[in-house]
Structure formats: C-alpha cells, structure tokens
Amino acid sequence: MPLATSTWGFREKIATSKVVFSGQVTMSQNVRKFESDFSDRIGSNWSIMVNSGSSANLLAAAAFRLRYSEEEFQSRNEVLVPTVSWSTTYFPWHQLGFKLKFVDVSIADFNIDSKKVLEAIDNKTVGICVVHLLGAPANLESLKNLASEHDLFLFEDACEAMGSKIQSQNVGTFGDMGSFSTYFSHHISTGEGGFVVTDDEKTAHQLISLRAHGWLRNLPQENFVSTKTGDSWLDQFRFYLPGYNLRPMETQAAPGIIQLKKLTKFNELREKNALHYRESLKQIPWLNLQQPQFDSTWFAFGHIINPESGIDRKVIVERLKEIGVESRPVVTGSFVKNPVVKLLNCVNANENFEIADLVEEKGFMIGNHPYDIRKRLDKLVKNLSQLS
C-alpha cells in the first residue's frame, strides 16, 4: 500500500493531450473554467488558480501584507501558526516579513488548539493561520470568533482538506482567504497546482495581479488595485504590485476540470476506508487514530502510539515496510524540531510544545486512497496487533 497513487483516467490524459496539441499551454480558457468550476464546488466568490498549493500560501501571505502600512506592520506583525504542519505553511509568512508564533495542537485531531490560541494572542498578533491537518477540520467556529473579537485576519490552509466540511460549509471558505492543493497525492490531482479562494473582490483583484508579475493585464479597467491608463500598449507592461509569476498551465487545468467532477466520489471512498479502519483499530488499544471533530475527507491516517505502551515506533515502521505499507511522520512532526527554524523569524520556537512533541516522537501516518483498501487495512491491523 503506497502513500499515494495516480487517480488519472483516460479522460484526464486525453484532455492534457488536447492542450499540448492545441499549442496554447500557458494560462488561458481551461484555467478560467477550472477557476469557475472550483468556486461553484467549494462555495467561494473567487478562486484564483496557481502553480502549486505552496504558491497559494505565498500568494495569500502577500495579499495579507498589502493590508498594512509599514508603520502598522512594525508594531503588529505576528501570525499564530500550528506547531505541526508542512513547511510551506510557515515559509511564506517569514518571506513576507511576518513573525511566526507557534501554538501547540490538540491531541485529538492534531490541529491548532483554539484554547491555546486565545492564550497566545497579544497586541502584536495580526492573524491566525489554521491548517486542517490530514483532512480534519479545525475548530473554525471558535477560531473565527477569536479573529473577529481581536481584529485578526484568519487564513485557512486547506491543502489537505478539499471537501471537508463543518455543518455543510466547505473548509477554506470560513476565513478571509483559504488555500487548496491539487498536487499528485491530494484529493484531486493536476500533478502540481493549487488555489486561493476568497469572497472579497478587492482581495481577489490583488491576488490576480500578484499572481502575474503585479500587472493589471488580467483585471478590468476599473479595479481595486489601480485604474488602467486606458492605453492598451502601455498597460501591457505597467506594474503596480510587487508580484510573482505563479501562473498555472493549461495542462494542469484541463485534467483538473475532469478531476473536480470526481471529487465527491473520491471522498466517499476515502471516508468508507476511514470508517472501516477506525472500527478495526479498536482491537489495538495502544494505537490512537486521529479523531476529527467535524466531517473529514481523510487525506491520510495519522496515529499516535500510547507512550505508556512501550511500543517502539521503529518496530512499527519496520513491520509496515515488511508488509508493503509506506509510512511517514505525521506531516513533519513538530516543525520547531527542523533545522530550518533557526533561519526563520520566530517568536517562541524554543518553548515546549507538549502535544507536538508527542506527535514528533510517537506519531506516524499512512496513506488513504480514493478506492477500496479495506482488505489491505485489515491485513495491516492484523500485523500491528501482533506487536502488543
């Protein structure tokens, strides 16, 4: 059982081939359609496609930075981030001049702990970065209230949670902006790719400009960045924001349009696997599976070994390898343990984070898939039960 497998069928390959033979491989009509379809599916007013989920996080951070004058930013620039997540949850904030303030996670779902968020907020806090780890929605109701009460922005990294919901609303649409990934191993795949979603038109216009060099070429004459000169010759190469080139390819969007239609079915199969696995694991009392508090799409299966069990994680990893099951740390474990942290602008990386440390030392994850793997999971449980 590998960590991830391809979900592309014949139609995705044909769609990609048509783009290649058309000669129009850079951002065009397929990207526009994919963006429109994605907004309809996720429930956002605007969806801006980029070349990766990591780029989506960078683009969102750049748009947030535009909200503050230099004077405001010098006095209030700390973003609260979960101590367990992927690297590009953190890097964009650092790269845009924000300071990272780590917050420990919940033992149940490995997401940022809203009670500890409240304790971490002070007069330097400017925003909260929420990550829906392994598909499990964080406590958005509480976090959204905290953001509103303390005048903070709320950003959702939903790269591992496409289709996860809280009371029928898709995660990624609760905050000021949300990011999604369409990487090879994620809920739908364009190989590489991602989205930033927002309901705010001004933010959307900034994102569109930032995505492509900081020009206005893809915006209307009257927009929230700047009015165009009206001279089409000049407007082609006039720059207004310190942007990037994060544009996606038509070869990413064309198969993505087809993949998006399969998302509901893919997620139903992931959830069936998860329900079966969760029930099967009850026979292994020393192994705790991630416990989502809301409707998860189960990107992967995260576990924590009971520290009192005496079971060595290395033994588990070796047994999984013997039966052909790939395993990894729970994302990156505690991110503050990574050497790169010494190069980042962090407020409290030297603090103790009890739950993140437990994830670091006793956690591991295996892949879930958008097809039936229940028999393979039964074999896995049988083998792990022999270790107790």
CA distance 312 to 317: 9
Provide φ and ψ at 81, rounded to 5°: -130, 150
Instruction: Select which of 132, 186, 205, 213 is catalytic.
Output: 186
Question: Parallel, antiparallel, or unpaired for β 300-305 and 363-367?
Answer: antiparallel
**Separation of CA 8 from chain center:** 21
- Joined together, the tokens standing for residue 167 give 């009371």
Provide the CA 120 distance to its chain's centre, in angstroms. Answer: 22
Cα–Cα distances in angstroms (integers) from residue 61 to residues 29, 144, 348, in the given order: 27, 18, 20
Is residue 186 flagged as an active site residue?
Answer: yes
For residue 326, what is the DSSP state? Answer: -
Residue 149 gets the label, from left (phi > 0), alpha (psi -120 to 50) or beta, of: alpha
Rounded Cα distance between 25 and 8, Å, is: 19
φ, ψ of residue 215 in degrees (nearest 5)? -90, 175
Strands 194-198 and 165-166: unpaired
Q: Write down how long the chain is.
A: 388
Q: Tell me how far apart the alpha carbons of residues 141 and 167 are, in angstroms, rounded to a whole number.
A: 11
Q: State the CB neighbour count (10 A cutoff) for residue 88.
A: 19
State the maximum Cα–Cα separation within the chain, in Å, rounded to a whole number.
Answer: 74
What is the C-alpha separation between 60 and 129, in angstroms, rounded?
11
3-state secondary structure of 303: strand
Catalytic residues: 186
